[in-house]
Amino acid sequence: MKLSIDIQGGSRPRSVQKPDVVLIHGTGSHAGMWSSQVDNLVSRGHRCLTPDLRGHGKTGELYEATDIDVHIGDILESLEVVDVQYPAIFIGHSLGAIISLKLAMESPHMTRRIFLAALPGRVYKPVSKLFKVFLSGPFQTMKNLPIEKALSWRHKALLDTDLHSLNQIVDNFAELDLVSPSIEIQCPVHLSAGRFDPVAPFQYVREIHRSIPHSTLKVYDLGGHNFMDYNQASFNNWIFEHIDSDLEP
């Protein structure tokens, strides 16, 4: 499925332009979450591509069964038509971090380095069950209430996401395990995590970090799942600390 992709930057000749950056949002979000990062990356000479996953933002929903391979297929199909300069840098949050990691493992020629924010190594069962309860009733109730002006952009983005998309993600990732299998990866890996994240528990992010040689880990001590929303400057600095450290393929 071809996704809606916003492209910014890239006005410089390819010979002097810095690597392309693909930023992939998480569940119940959209490409707009990356506005601060995109502005800063473009000002530094990068071209940024921010897709909306199926059922999110400006991308529709086909109402079929999905899993991580389907989402990866959507990304690959969509990037084919926008002339991405590989290897590119991938930045992902939550589900977007899973997609970025899998792409780096399965298609190493595509990835120069990856930044994984709030990567869910495993999902606590109570969290998964609670989200299912929310989607089974309260989600639609809140969606129908005239409360749009009172909502933050992130809460509004969640309620604007297609219910089928959310249910598919919850069903597919309830048994997620990125901790037990060996992660074989060639490009540099940079992780960031909120210490109090209920969706991507810190202990599992730390285990993944320890299992990947030479990976780095930035911890937001008071952060939850969306720690970048409240730490934009620090989050941007985390990216810029590493992003240009190897401009040779």
Question: What percentage of the chain carries pLDDT values higher than 70?
Answer: 96
Beta strand ranges found along 39-144 (DSSP E) = 48-51, 88-93, 111-117
- 181 has pLDDT over 60: yes
- 195 has pLDDT over 70: yes
* pLDDT for the residue numbered 21: 98
User: Which residue in the block uniquely carries the two structure tokens 């749009």?
Assistant: 148
- 142 has pLDDT over 70: yes
Please give the angle made by the CA atoms of 75, 19 and 90, to the nearest 5 degrees: 35
Structure tokens at 228: 């970048």
**Tens-place pLDDT, residues 59-96:** 999 999 999 999 999 999 999 999 899 999 999 999 99
Quickly state the pLDDT bin for 17 (edges 50, 70, 90): confident
* pLDDT for the residue numbered 154: 94
| pLDDT, the chain, mean | 94
- 249 has pLDDT over 50: no
Question: What percentage of the chain carries pLDDT values higher than 90?
Answer: 89
Greatest Cα pair distance, the chain, in angstroms, is 53
* pLDDT for the residue numbered 13: 63
Q: What is the average pLDDT across 160-184?
A: 94
Q: What is the average pLDDT across 209-217?
A: 97
Beta bridge partners of 219: 193
Q: What is the average pLDDT across 229-245?
A: 94
Pick the CATH number of 5-243 from 2.30.30.90, 3.30.200.20, 3.40.50.1820, 3.40.50.720: 3.40.50.1820
- 248 has pLDDT over 50: no
Q: What is the average pLDDT across 207-236?
A: 97
Q: Which long-range contacts (CB under 8 A, 24 or more apart) does 184-187 make?
A: 184/105, 185/101, 185/104, 185/105, 185/108, 185/212, 186/104, 186/108, 187/87, 187/104, 187/108, 187/111, 187/112, 187/113, 187/114
